[in-house]
Amino acid sequence: MLATRCLSRPPRLGLQVGRTVGAGGSVERMPIIEIERLCKSYQVYQKKEGLWASVRGLFRREYRQVEAVRGIDLTVEQGEFVAFLGPNGAGKTTTLKLLSGVIHPTSGTARVMGHVPWKRENAYRRRFALVMGQKNQLWWDLPAQESFRLHQQIYRIPTSSFHQTLDELCQLLDVKNLLNQPVRELSLGERMKMELIAALLHAPEVLFLDEPTIGLDVVAQHNIQHFLRTYQQTKQITILLTSHYMKDVLALCKRLVIIAQGQICYDGSLTGIIDRFSTDKVVTLLFGGDRLPSQWEPLGRVLEVVGPKVKLRVERQRVAQVLASLLADYSIEDVSVEDPPLEEVIADAFNQVSRTSVPGAPLDRIVPGTRV
């Protein structure tokens, strides 16, 4: 594909030219994002109900601490595409804002490409981008083209490379004909694509994406996923992505970080999380004869029965045993054993975390040794 070829130029490596030798003797890339014991708490005014309480609130205010991020440690290497998952209010957006230098932390340190983000140095701000699905940064009443031109001036992108990049991005996202339409007249999906272009014009080396596919239909989500994958692979940039759509994660990321109540509770591969949190497998059986087992309970939990096709949820350790006994007693034409859908696994993980943790107490951190 022509567009893809145009996009592939050697990534700007910035600071990570030096290489360190890892413990195993293998050559590792230097971390591009290093976070240590990062904390952010907000003081929020505790509003009381009722008029009298409100009047009293004028004189004596009561505050509550919201601990949005509670001691995060994370290291990301150059070229990684990391998914940041967690239930609502887990602290994902707060972490991305801290890494973008939008807000100051309460305590802890972070370095991105050697810069402390909240110092807001121009040298740092030229090298990363943040895209937030729920907010837009383009001028509402003007065509996106005008906002892009402004970006060109702010980032001082040479005209020739500006036009080249813009052409490539427009082609990849298929929005060339929308450049001259006021942003307020674009659909949500079209606007999201424009937001992505605006964020990528200056060829950032690190990209923070906060729910870039929120509210988009399946096709638009797929387009954006495809674009992000192509772009990340050709440019080898580092991306941190948050999303509530597991499709995004499956399509894009090898590494998953799960954050709940401001703390990281899982950091590892996709398969690792299934091993860790999913205790069951989904077994699908296609029975040959009319004879079906009369009792399912000893085998597993029935998910659905359609004619001779039965879907069972079986504890992982018992899968072999269950299959063996079924195959011995019944005629079975087809068998498949699968992991439950990722959504369910993640939901299980979230539940497990919120059940086991007392607010304020440190969560068990599960970090498998292998990381894909």
Partner 1 sequence: MPGESVHPSYIRVLLTFMRNSLVRDMSFRSNFVIESVASTSWVFMNLGFYLLIFRYTNEIGAGSGWGKYEFFVFLSTTMFINSIIEALFMPNAQEFSELIRTGNLDFALLKPIDTQFLVSCRRCDWSSLANWLVGGSLLVYSLRQLTARAENPLQIHPLAFVLYPFFIVCGVAILYSLMISLSASSVWLGRNQTLYNFWFYITNFSRYPMEIYGGTYGTPLRAVFTFVIPVLIVVNVPARWMAWPFDVARSGPLSLFAVAATLASLMFSRWVFLRALESYRSASS
Ligand X SMILES: Nc1ncnc2c1ncn2[C@@H]1O[C@H](COP(=O)(O)OP(=O)(O)OP(=O)(O)O)[C@@H](O)[C@H]1O
Binding site for ligand X (CB under 6 A): 42, 44, 66, 68, 86, 88-94
Q: Which of 4, 137, 269, 279 binds partner 1 (CB under 8 A)?
A: 137
Q: Which does 250 bind (CB under 5 to 8 A by kind): Mg ion, ligand X, partner 1, none?
A: none
CA distance 79 to 235: 9
Residue 97 sits in the site that holds partner 1 (CB under 8 A): yes
- The angle formed by the CA atoms of residues 131, 132 and 135, to the nearest 5 degrees, is 125
| Residue 33, C-beta contacts closer than 8 angstroms, at least 6 positions apart | 74, 75, 76, 99, 110, 111, 112, 206, 238, 240
Rounded to whole angstroms, the Cα distance separating 204 from 178 reads 24
Burial degree of 179 (CB within 10 A; 0-12, 13-18, 19+):
middle
- Rounded to whole angstroms, the Cα distance separating 314 from 301 reads 7
Closest to partner 1 by CB, 59 or 370 = 59
Among 101, 212, 272, 340, binds partner 1 (CB under 8 A): 101
**What residue type is assigned to position 148 of the chain?**
F
Q: Is 292 helix (H, G, I), strand (E, B) or coil?
A: coil
Contact track, partner 1, 38-77, x by CB under 8 A: ----x-----------------------------------
CA distance 323 to 142: 63
Residue whose CB is less far from ligand X, 93 or 234? 93
196: its two tokens = 């992505």
Compute the least distance from the CB of residue 309 to ligand X, in Å: 37
Residue of the chain from 93, 136, 213, 243 that contacts Mg ion (CB under 5 A): 93
Candidate list 39, 116, 150, 337; residue touching partner 1; CB under 8 A? 150
The region of 33-41, 90-98, 119-127, 298-306 touching Mg ion under the rule CB under 5 A is 90-98
In the bound state with Mg ion, the residue whose beta carbon lies nearer, of 91 and 143, is: 91
- Kindly indicate which of the ranges 43-51, 89-97, 215-223, 300-308 contains the residues binding Mg ion, using the contact rule CB under 5 A: 89-97
Q: Which stretch binds partner 1 (CB under 8 A): 123-131, 269-277, 285-293, 355-363?
A: 123-131
Smallest distance, partner 1 to C-beta of residue 38, A: 16
CB of 130 to ligand X, least distance (A): 13
| b/e burial code for range 201-235 (CB count within 10 A of at least 16 → b) | bbbbbbbbbbbbbbebeeebbebbbebbebbbebb
Residues that bind Mg ion (CB under 5 A): 93
